[in-house]
A = this chain, B = another copy of it.
């Protein structure tokens, strides 16, 4: 299950996604959401972390497009923010990396000299 389409990413986006996934907390959050959707406070309790912290990570995950959120009214009228994992499929190989690297904008990172520099 959770078979998404293979992602096409620009270098910048790839870096963003990788950076987002490269965190134990976010990995756990994503795992928990893959397991089923929940709302923030509940998730924070499940993972044993503070809401403030969780929210930061959720925002980063959302920004990277790995999770989506939507408000929902609980039966007793409370506004709950439910998050759920976005299916994705990212096949990483040296070639993929090589291609992505050519599309890096990376402002301030110093543009490398054009290839063919032998």
Q: Chain A interface (Cβ within 8 Å of chain B)? A: 1-4, 11, 14-15, 18-19, 21-25, 27-28, 30-32, 34-36, 38, 45-49, 85-95, 97-98, 100-102, 104, 106, 109-113, 115, 117-118
Contacts and interface: CB of A to CB of B under 8 A. Distances in A.
A2 B104 contact: no
Contact of A46 (B49, B86, B104, B117): B117
23 contacts: A1-B95, A2-B95, A4-B93, A4-B94, A11-B24, A15-B24, A19-B22, A24-B104, A27-B97, A28-B104, A30-B97, A30-B98, A31-B97, A34-B97, A35-B98, A35-B115, A36-B117, A36-B118, A47-B113, A49-B110, A85-B94, A86-B94, A90-B92
Nearest to A7: B92
